[in-house]
Amino acid sequence: MLPLLLFPFSLLFGIITFIRNKLYDWNLISSVHYDDVFVISVGNITVGGTGKTPFVEYLIRLLSKEYSVAVLSHGYKRTTKGFLFVDDNVTPAETGDESYLIKRKFPEIVVAVDANKVNGITQIRKKYPDTQIILLDDAFQYRRILPNLSILLTDYNRPMYRDSMLPGGRLREWLCFVKRADVMVVTKSPINITPTDRYNIEKHYAGVFPFEIFFATIGYGEPLPVFSTGKSLSTENIKTYEILLVTGIANPKPFEAYIRQYATSLQTIFFPDHHPFSENDIIRISEKFKENIIMITTEKDAVRLQKLKIPEMMANRCYYVPIEVKFTDEEKGCFDKKVTSTYPQLKRHK
């Protein structure tokens, strides 16, 4: 009933975004295009998690071996405004947890945040003039920049063709606009996805996206201690404990399904996406702790928890599970070539 009541608002939102996109398509509003630095946009047309952060990390691993790479993000839900470099002097709250996490994992990479991405690119190039590639995180709707390569992500579990416009659904713009992407990747796909499933998905998108579609899955690593006082823990050892799963991400269900494969007892506490953990949250979580319980969370949540004062008993039994984008060997080669072949004019720095 609620989506029906919201239909007029969804229609209005769709009309507004349609007009905005057409103004850019017809060059009535101009976009900035860069010839001397290669800009790659990673984004989606839905609200909620499609795995943008691990995908940006995948691109960093792919590109940074041979090129000077920087990452520019909006810094979602950060407490600061304007342009800011992510370094050792800032906190996850000041930069956004995703940007902070990327910098922590790739300290050699330039990472910055700015809602005004044109200004952000200017500031990065001013301080780091040798930058060759800039990855724009969550920038598919940012039409002020015309990227050299646009990668669109869509969640396997929440296909765009079954969704509707905001606020009745999760789409930021109508499906017809996905064709401005150069590459589409269906993220969080099952490891054992069948050829029939792939064909059906490709068939659904064929009318709006005429190019090749890639399928990626999530690879989960071994649990790691959130705090230095924690002991090592293997995935197989999870079954010997009662698990308290705590997340602050858009869609925790796939992560929960993964942990359930190993857990014999599981409780969950789910917070909203990018939730800023408070002392009251820590009290609520710690009340669940007893002798044989451990807490498992995501890597993004871990960077926020690490900045809080956590009871020692809880800190010693707090773990996160790192994730990584995975392709099949054959598809990885095709995708990597698709990305790297688009900028042969760049001179490798290594």
Query: What residue spans define the domains of the chain?
Result: 2-67+132-218+327-340, 222-321
Place of tokens 């009535």: 28
Q: Whats the size of the chain, residue-wise?
A: 350
Asked if the domains 2-67+132-218+327-340 and 222-321 are classified in one and the same CATH topology, the answer is: yes
For residue 6, what pLDDT is reported?
A: 82
Residue 336: phi, psi to the nearest 5? -60, -40
Q: What's the pTM?
A: 0.93
Strand order in the sheet with 224-225: 224-225, 318-321, 293-298, 242-247, 265-270
What is the third-level CATH fold of 2-67+132-218+327-340?
Rossmann fold (3.40.50)
For residue 342, what pLDDT is reported?
A: 78
In angstroms, the CA 313 to CA 295 distance is 11
Contact by Cβ (8 Å): 4, 114? no
Domain 222-321: CATH class, spelled out: alpha beta
Give me the helices (H) in the chain, please: 2-25, 52-63, 92-95, 97-105, 117-127, 195-205, 253-260, 279-286, 299-305, 312-315, 329-340
* Three-class HEC string of 65-95: CCCCEEEEECCCCCCCCCCEECCCCCCHHHH
Residue-by-residue pLDDT tens, the chain, 350 positions: 556 778 888 999 999 999 999 999 999 999 999 989 999 999 999 987 789 999 999 999 999 999 999 999 999 889 999 999 999 999 999 999 999 999 999 999 999 999 999 999 999 999 999 999 999 999 999 999 999 999 999 999 999 999 999 999 999 999 999 999 999 999 999 999 999 999 999 999 999 998 989 999 999 999 999 999 889 899 988 999 999 999 999 889 999 999 999 999 999 999 998 898 999 999 999 998 888 899 999 999 999 999 898 999 899 999 999 999 999 888 999 999 999 887 765 554 44
In angstroms, the CA 98 to CA 95 distance is 8
